[in-house]
Amino acid sequence: MKFTATPLAGAFIVDIDPSSDERGFFARTFCAEEFAEYGLSAAALQCSVSYNIRKGTLRGMHYQAPPRDEDKLIRCTAGAIYDVIVDIRSGSASYGRWFGAELTAANRRALLAPKGFAHGFLTLADDSEVLYMISARYTPGFARGFPWNDPQVAIAWPMKPVVVSARDAAYQPLDHGAA
């Protein structure tokens, strides 16, 4: 695997390093020892999948509050998404800053969102599927979020969302106590 640091400390793009032959290729998508070398959590206590019917579906911006905060390794297994993380670590030099990357089934790229980051994505194709490896069990009472279009964060989404859930639309801006 190839780890590339993002501009937000502790967050990485993770690319596969395939071994190819006449059959195709084989590559690791997760290795606890390699993740630990970068100071990243080696625990994956839960795996989840998000299937999205329509291009333009937006999910986010979501996170879990401490002590149920979580590391997430996000990979698009079908279709394409624009994946975004936002640093919500109080006291962080990059608090409120965001980073986005296109994750597709074809590029097989993943984004590592460590604890203290909110996460969301916008589908760029119909029938997009997202696989999450998560370090903590989802606990509804600790689920938090802020709007995908929060003016203080000012994420530059590649297109306007077509589908946004009522829950995601109702979140309060980050500066109003979401963190």
> What is the spatial distance between Cα 144 and Cα 57, in angstroms, rounded to a whole number?
19
Catalytic residue status for 82: no
Amino acid, single-letter form, for residue 66 = P
CA distance 90 to 64: 14
Closest to 60 (Cα-Cα) out of 177, 143, 176, 152: 143
In angstroms, the CA 87 to CA 34 distance is 23
120 strand-pairing partners: 84
Nearest to 152 by CA among 92, 91, 100, 88: 88
- Of 51, 62, 95, 138, catalytic: 62
Q: Is the peptide bond before 159 cis (omega within 30 degrees of 0)?
A: no
Catalytic residue among 63, 82, 132, 171: 132
Catalytic annotation present for 119: no
Q: Name the residues annotated as catalytic.
A: 62, 132
